[in-house]
Amino acid sequence: MGAAEAIARLRPLLLDVDRAAALEPPGALESAVLVPLVVSNDELRLVVTRRRDDMRSHAGEYSFPGGRRDPGELSLVHTALRETHEEIGIPAESVELIGALQPTATIATSFSLHAFVGIVPEGAAWIAEPAEVAEVLELPLLELLASRKRDVLRRRDVAFRTTVYPIGERVIWGATARILGDLADRLA
């Protein structure tokens, strides 16, 4: 399946942006992320970031650009687009929003997390915010989704079984994995 076909197939399967923003998942702190997709050589690629290892929360984890809703911010869509610009340098007007995914919550940090899906320009120069982002990755979407498996992870000396998306030495898990699972289920 080519990228244009995948986007055409995905668009009607996504939630309406405004309706998704009105949903209230568990979590005390409103936040939003952009799930950035790039069309490159007729392939869909997913953009994720790796948080710096010295961050207070979610250190070293793979995530989508996003963050907490600022007081007075117009909407959660605005939050996702603002954070994307701040974290990886993509201006809001360069993003074509195509829908949203089911909101989820972060377990350890109590964020209600809204995920909006958007197409970003091919060949963009990722400008990682040095205070937050250690690296920006562009991964083949179908390869990443096909890597899904259950595994045992250990964090803070606690072992737990969870869904992960391994790509080489990298492992995507947690809220980011739940968002990817929703995307994978919609494309299945």
**pLDDT digit string (tens) for 52-88?**
878 777 777 999 999 999 999 999 999 999 999 999 9
Q: What is the pLDDT of residues 23-32, one digit of tens each?
A: 887 777 899 9
Mapped onto helix, strand or coil, the DSSP state of residue 107 is: coil
The pTM for the full model equals 0.91
Q: Does domain 3-146 have CATH number 3.90.79.10?
A: yes
Residue 76, both tokens:
């959660």
- CA pair distance 131, 183, nearest whole angstrom: 29
The one-letter amino acid at 56: R
Residue-wise pLDDT for 123-143, tens only, equals 888 999 999 999 999 999 999
Domain boundaries, the chain: 3-146
